[in-house]
A and B are shown apart, each in its own frame.
Chain A
Amino acid sequence: MATIIINGEEHTLPEGEKLNAIQLALRVGVDIPYYCWHPALSVVANCRMCEIEVGSKDPKTGEIKMIPNKLVPACQTPAKDMTVLVTNSPKVKAHQRMVMEYLLINHPLDCPVCDQAGECGLQDYSYEYGQAIHRFVEERNVNPRKDVSDLIQLNQDRCIMCTRCVRFTREITQTGELQVMRRGSHAEIDIFPGHPVDNPLAGNVVDLCPVGALLDKDFLHKQRVWFLSKHDSLCTRCSTGCNVSAEENRGALWRFKPRFNPHVNDYWICDEGRASYKTANDLALLAAMYVRQDGDLRLVPIDQALNAAGRGLARAAESGGTIAGVMSPFLTVEEAYLMASYLKGLSPASVLALGPVPTRGEDLTIQPDQHKGRTGDTSFIVARPFTIRAEKCPNRRGVEAVLEHFQGEVIGFDDLLRRAKAGEFQALYIVSDAIDPWIGEAEARELRDKVEFLVMQDTQVTTLAELADVVLAGATFAEKAGCYVNADGRLQYAEAALPPRDGSLPDLDLLAILLGRGRGPVHSRDILAELAQMVPAFAVAEGGKIPAFGIVLEQPEPVGPGVPFADPWTQPRGLKGDRPGETSPKGSRNA
């Protein structure tokens, strides 16, 4: 069994993984500070923050030999059998203090106006490893701020030249827009004139930057990060299902940040997904429920609207007419399950169809290479591709799996439209929650005329809603909790980030009330547990539990909990760890 000795304690090395000293130390709860190292980028060891004492132990004699007189960057040190690491000796600490003082030589110390304050590597490490005095009395370099793209601003005076951003554009997107210009204390990050950072993943350089040098202009000066509450959510802008943290304050979303998931999005999200949080803050979202009375849509309380919808659909079923339900690929699997149970419960002859699946362009895969285009040590990298899908909805596969269980086949939206126009259905219940318009006005009118009773459940004010008999206001992606199945068949859970808007209810609650299930809100986890029991395709989600990185539907063997990763300075401090029995934030982020 391979062991490594860190600060005098022996730890077992995990099998089959090539880790460096920082990664391994993090897993056993020892912090080695770093800036320039990132698990997806090659090792260049230029910030010198992670230097520690390294040595080896002779397996036979047990004698420990340290590398004399010299500190070694931990990011470059492989975690091998019988390696000895010392991370807390006076020599290491003095070195860390020195590096911090050097890094801050030209730093403007403008934390009060810096958006990174609160999740800044310089702030956190100054506090933990730095010192309060500064001996540099000469004038500091002043660099004007500049734009490196329409979306990204660079405040060069805050930069610590870690080159994470440069390596990202070279090694991951392979577009190479950013580089270091000039040398020494004149070094600057810059673009070639007229060639801004414009690639579909450009926004990630902002997340990579450990300090406030690269900033998202969309978020610039709007919020302080410590006001934001983070919710583990999913991007619903394409069927990749990137893991994001949806960050909320005062009832609005302010930004999306990527969350690491090695099976889905690695450490990144695309710029389109990053900007997609905005639709949740739209002031024009449907904000009330309506029922058609004497030809006009009247605003009614939620219970009346639901009663009207329930009565109308039940009447259609009793009179022997056929009910058709349209389940959009924006629904969670729990919502799809409740809706299918509801309509099939009203009449087994009900027809269920998949809503329109928006597609745009072609799948775009960004495939970083393990070695090609990389500059430093690449031996610790696991190169993983990132795909932006053409299918611009989160849950086609999940809704299809539910449909297949309930009626054995998936009826497409075009098919349903054709049958509806032939006058086959007496009542139509459409749940959309889609973001972009999906039906033309003429077609909407034609569809309306062919059905007697139309219930529209949506978040947007659409033509079809204006024509409907009952309009129910559902939840946006940010207001609902539930699971989606991505393009690879991975079932993932998204937390709700916002409370329901005034006048609306989450779709899951609307459907539960229609189904007559008890009082009070329903929990997506309970419904998922039920779904896992009733529908064999979802059996992997037994008990409503899904591991952190999600679980693949057709591949029920456990993938293991996995090792989450996030740079330490992005972690909220002091939240966990002051309760006995709970691990410290340092330990817990590397469970």
Chain B
Amino acid sequence: MHLNDPHLKRLTPPKLTLAEKWYLPQIADGLGVTAKHMAGVVFRNKVFTMEYPEEQHVPSPNYRGVHRLNKDEQGRVKCVACMLCATACPAHCIDIVGATAPETWPDREKYCESFVIDELRCIYCGMCEEACPVEAIELTGFYDLTGLSREQMIFDKAKLLSVFDATKDAEPMRFSLPPQPAAASTPEQRTSETG
């Protein structure tokens, strides 16, 4: 986008009032919140922290953690090596080598021979799962990702598939079912299919 683009909206930040410039009211506000929480812990036993790792945190369903490569019903990798995820990825951390699908997969034309994600470079934005046309890549709720070296954090295809095996029961594939005929005619779905 160029600076002269007519679609560009120009905004100026609002001017600060005298009280805001002074900052002290805001600091007092903040301290008020802290005091409220302290009072909650002391008088009403309302705790906000948890005893990790004895107690496990379950993230919200749309939490974006480590990737997994989904498998189809026959246990083959779903990815068709279209490289749309690698194209969408703003961190350029996905590396895919595509190849012609083996003869024994008559319904498939192409698959990924190698699929590598650098989990350290990834910013967990979820653009890859958004881009994928076959729902082959998904971000799981798996968050305690550790390793002893950089190399260990570069996940290859086998590892990404194993993340699928480890998480598939807790988090079923989001789009594993074909769209229901009745649902398919709602205007929202139609546009998402054809557009």
Contact = CB atoms under 8 A, between A and B. Distances in A.
B2 A112 contact: no
Contact of A221 (B2, B5, B110, B133): B110
B187 to A, nearest CB: 12
Interface string A214-235: 0000001111101100000000
A132 B195 contact: yes
Contacts of A110: 109
A113 B100 CA distance: 10
Given A134-B194, A224-B83, A578 B110 contact: no
Given A227-B83, A580-B2, A132 B109 contact: no
Interface residues of A, number: 19
A112 B84 contact: yes
A133 interface: yes
B80 interface: yes
A226 B87 contact: yes
B87 A112 contact: no
Contacts of B133: 112
Contacts of B110: 113, 221
B194 A113 contact: no
Contacts of A221: 81, 98-100, 109-110
A132 B82 contact: no
Interface string A252-269: 000000000000000000
Interface in B17-33: none
B100 to A, nearest CB: 5
A112 B134 contact: yes
A112 B83 CA distance: 8
Contact of A578 (B2, B84, B109, B134): B2
Nearest to A145: B109
B183 interface: no
Interface string B1-13: 1101100000000
A224 B194 contact: no
Of the four ranges (under 10, 10 to 19, 20 to 34, 35 or more), the interface on chain B belongs to 20 to 34
Given A113-B109, A221-B98, A133 B87 contact: no
A220 B110 CA distance: 10
Interface string A128-154: 000011100000000001000000000
A224 B82 contact: yes
A117 B99 CA distance: 16
Interface string B146-186: 00000000000000000000000000000000000000000
Nearest to A222: B98
Nearest to B190: A133
B82 A113 contact: yes
A578 B1 contact: yes
Contact of B194 (A112, A132, A580): A132
Contacts of B134: 112
Contact of B82 (A112, A134, A578): A112
A183 interface: no
Contacts of A145: 109
A220 B98 CA distance: 9
A134 B190 CA distance: 11
A195 interface: no
Contacts of B98: 221-223
A133 B187 CA distance: 12
A6 B82 CA distance: 41
A580 B4 contact: yes
B115 to A, nearest CB: 14
Contacts of A132: 191, 194-195
Contacts of B195: 132
Contact of A113 (B4, B81, B190, B191): B81
Contacts of B1: 578
Contacts of A112: 80, 82, 84, 133-134
Interface in A190-237: 220-224, 226-227
Nearest to B133: A112
A372 interface: no
A145 B107 CA distance: 12
Contacts of A111: 82
Nearest to B98: A221
A132 B82 CA distance: 22
B80 A113 contact: yes
Nearest to A133: B194
A221 B99 CA distance: 5
A335 B192 CA distance: 57
A579 interface: yes
Given A113-B81, A113-B82, A134-B194, A579 B2 contact: yes
A568 B124 CA distance: 37
A462 B194 CA distance: 58
Interface string B119-159: 00000000000000110000000000000000000000000
A145 B195 CA distance: 27
B100 A220 contact: yes
Contacts of B190: 133
Given A221-B99, A222-B98, 20 more contacts: A110-B109, A111-B82, A112-B80, A112-B133, A112-B134, A113-B109, A132-B195, A133-B194, A134-B194, A220-B100, A221-B100, A221-B109, A221-B110, A223-B98, A224-B82, A226-B87, A578-B1, A578-B2, A578-B5, A580-B4
Query: Which 6 pairs across A and B sit closest by C-beta, in order of nearness?
Result: A112-B82, A113-B110, A132-B194, A113-B109, A221-B98, A112-B133
Interface of A: 110-113, 117, 132-134, 145, 220-224, 226-227, 578-580
24 contacts: A111-B82, A112-B80, A112-B134, A113-B81, A113-B109, A117-B82, A132-B191, A133-B190, A133-B194, A145-B109, A220-B100, A221-B98, A221-B100, A221-B110, A222-B98, A224-B82, A224-B83, A224-B87, A226-B87, A227-B83, A227-B87, A578-B1, A578-B2, A580-B4
